[in-house]
Amino acid sequence: MAAEQMADGAQDGTTPPPRPLDAIDQDILKILQADGRASIRTVAERVHVSRANAYARINRLIDDGVIRGFSARVDHERAGHGTSAYITLKIVQNTWRTVREQLRQLPGASHIALVGGDFDVLLLVHTPDNRALRELVLTRLQAIPEVLSTRTLLVFEEEDLEPET
C-alpha cells in the first residue's frame, strides 16, 4: 500500500463513506494504537482470525481512511523539546483554511483544531525552551494577518492516554 494512499485514505484523494466496524475491527484498532509495529500474525492471534483475514481487515481500514497512518509516540522532552504549550487563537471569520495552512508550517506544531467557544483555534506546540516558544508566539503566530489574538497555556506536565490492549 502506497504511503499516499494511507495518508489520503483512497487513491483518488476522496474518502469513501464509512463502513460499520465490528468488534474484531475495533480490537484490531486497539492493538495497532497500542503498538503500530504489531505483526499481522500477532494481530491475527490476538483477535482470533486467520492472518489473511487480519491482513484484509487492516487493508480495508486503511483504504476506508479509518487508519490514517502509523507513527511513533515521542517523549518530546527527551527529544529536545522540553517546553509544550496549548495556544488559543481568535481568527478572522472564514479564514480557517488559510490559517490552518500557515499553522502547519510552524516548527513544533503538533495538533491543530478548529473549535467552538471563546476562541477559534487550539494549537499544541512543542519547542526546545521558553525562548523558542516566545519567538513562535510573538514573531511567527502574531505575524499571521488573520490571527486577531492569542493566549498561551504553558503545559507543566502531560501524559498521553494509551488505549488498553
SS3 assignment, position 123: strand
Averaged over 134-151, what is the pLDDT? 96
- Across the chain, the runs of DSSP E, i.e. the strands, are 83-91, 109-114, 121-127, 147-155
Averaged over 32-45, what is the pLDDT? 93
Write down the pLDDT at residue 15. Answer: 58
Write down the pLDDT at residue 165. Answer: 52
Assigned C-alpha cell, 72: 511513533
pTM of the model: 0.74
Assigned C-alpha cell, 94: 472564514
**Percent of the chain with pLDDT strictly greater than 70:** 88
Dihedral sign from CA coordinates of 42, 45, 7, 78: negative
